[in-house]
Copies of this chain bind each other. A is one copy, B any other.
């Protein structure tokens, strides 16, 4: 099976990390294709960045449909473009926030999210409500680390994140911790070993979840809201998107 893991930002090194994490957890018959959009922001740290990452994500979905991809992961914790992607793709699409949060719900009664910037906490809480994880969400904790600093080996990001995860256990009585950024994908196991509760990386969780959906023959329901979008004219810098419609669904 071919899975496309879309890094919604345009930073290639982050795509590499994400792809590696996804490959490590999927089965031998699964080919992971990690892709970087041709347009959009270098990192996603605001609603503005997130909104403008969506066209690049949808272009990658359209390309994946051409390439015969069986399923997709959107690998940014805001799950940008998820509903639109579900209309466009024939196979299942999973966001890393929804996969991480739902996975955490299997591991206890409450989890906290540890994320990068405080300004993204509102979006995380909003998604928790949307995904039905609001009842399980204890706190969204921010480390005030810019996303791309996670890539910098000289930064003490890992220590700061680990400390915030520890606080989630001690102060929130969280049974589990969700890492709120795809850029933290390689830290989960290390932090879990230090703090003694499960730590969920959304990239791994989402990759396994979509692999499961494909394996079980489960695709997005296409008889209503998520049917292929009706064809119509598109103009301007986005006129290419008129082409990206699937002919069949």
Q: Which residues of A contact B (CB under 8 A)?
A: 10, 25, 27-28, 37-43, 45-52, 54-56, 58, 81, 83-84, 86-88, 92, 94, 98, 102-103, 105-110, 118-123, 126, 129-136, 146, 169, 173-176, 189, 192, 196-198, 200, 204-205, 208-209, 212-213, 215-227, 229-230, 232-241
Contacts and interface: CB of A to CB of B under 8 A. Distances in A.
B220 A41 contact: no
A105 B84 contact: no
Contacts of A223: 169, 175, 196-197
Contacts of A146: 230
A236 B40 contact: yes
Q: Which of A47, A105, A130, A146 has the most CB of B within 10 A?
A: A47
B235 A10 contact: yes
A126 B83 CA distance: 12
Given A58-B48, A81-B51, A224-B175, A92 B108 contact: no
B132 A236 contact: no
B237 A39 contact: yes
Given A25-B216, A105-B102, A133-B132, A45 B224 contact: no
Contacts of A88: 48
Contacts of A40: 234-236, 238
Contacts of A235: 10, 38-40, 42
A84 B48 contact: yes
A136 B126 contact: no
Interface centre among A10, A40, A83, A218 (most CB of B within 10 A): A218
